[in-house]
Chain A
């Protein structure tokens, strides 16, 4: 199977690196998480599946959802002191909206509740960012409110 090391790619595609690069090329981080509902506490249990750092520029920053819900999560990029640098809203991964067509070919939307799910975050990196915290969007900026903190240099 392939490795996570640098590799050349098709013209127009970006090269890829899993570790911190000495170059000043702009970088993107992908963070993949699993989330599970603890039914006894009602809290979300979040685990990091993997993180991938790669060169590249984002034209589209993951835009915040138009309508925020209580279960929405927030991914906050953090500096050395765990102070927020930037953040994006992640629609509640355990209560998702799907859109499809019915037998009359009419569009419809539906809310679906799940006990567990995966979700992904893609953000532009900069030199200040040292970690990422996931918290409930409704929670305060208190450092203790993070459900999970992922350090950039963490293996």
Chain B
């Protein structure tokens, strides 16, 4: 009992010590944070001397993100902010314990980074996870509490990333695709269009058991831009489930979102922020007797 209380006390002191303000920067500013979707990028594995590189890396990710439709068309709905969290050491840990490859694929190293980012999580080489959940949450609470989406950008050139509570990506050129796929889940609420297993099958924007073209939820897209009703494959209950496309980013990296996922993402954007930022004259009713009334 004493041991666990001590552990809790040490943990509490450690977390509170981290409750501090960090330098921030703006990568994209479209307007008031209350009226825009705020994507916040946290650094991990960047030493204080490498934070200028973090700005460049975050800008590179932001460019990749807004090159994807529909984000490309809806860029003005977003702000992108970065929180410059310095780490004691550069990079991400690589314990060399993955069982899905012949280790060491890359040099084995333990890195003292701020959010505990490590490859080989759960024995999977490319599974790059920021392990210190409470530290991440505390930094967000003290620096940008009303964030809408979070990405943790890890200063490692090796390919890796993960989804889950927080999206994590390395600086490898392909990692942005993983992150954008993960944001398809966490931001847009999209299902996978590859068969991830029975556990993950559910009715959603881009997944259904409905096979009737006039009833399927994406019926308005049928036979447009490759949209159809495609049976999932393979294993388990996959034959019971259907997806709208055969080459969507929710299935394959390096591809665009299919039209159904694009629509779902746009609808999500509109549930969060209104397309009308302000109006003039600032009246809620039409008054006066001079017509036509001009609005802007």
Q: A66-B204, A100-B161 are in contact. Are A28 and B146 (CB under 8 A)?
A: yes
A16, A58, A98: the one contacting B127 at CB < 8 Å is A98
* Contact of A107 with B by CB under 8 A: yes
A11 to chain B, nearest CB (A): 9
Chain A interface (Cβ < 8 Å from any Cβ of B): 1-4, 7, 9-10, 12-14, 16, 18, 28, 30, 32-34, 47, 49-50, 52, 54-60, 63, 66-67, 91, 96-103, 105-112, 117-120, 122
Q: Is the CB of B164 within 8 A of A117?
A: no
Interface size range of chain B in the complex: 35 or more
The 6 A-B residue pairs with the shortest CB-CB distance, nearest first, are: A2-B20, A120-B137, A56-B146, A32-B134, A30-B141, A118-B133
A38 to chain B, nearest CB (A): 11
Per-position 1/0 for B115-142, Cβ under 8 A of A: 0000001101111110011101110111
Q: Is the CB of B160 within 8 A of A100?
A: yes
B146, B159, B163, B202: the one contacting A99 at CB < 8 Å is B163
- List the one stretch of B10-18, B46-54, B57-65, B275-283 in contact with chain A: B10-18
Question: Which residues, 138 to 191 on B, are CB-close (under 8 Å) to A?
Answer: 138, 140-146, 148-149, 159-165, 174, 178, 181-182, 185, 189, 191
Q: Is the CB of A30 within 8 A of B140?
A: yes
Q: A12-B29, A50-B134 are in contact. Are A59 and B273 (CB under 8 A)?
A: yes
Residues of A within 8 A of B42 (CB): none
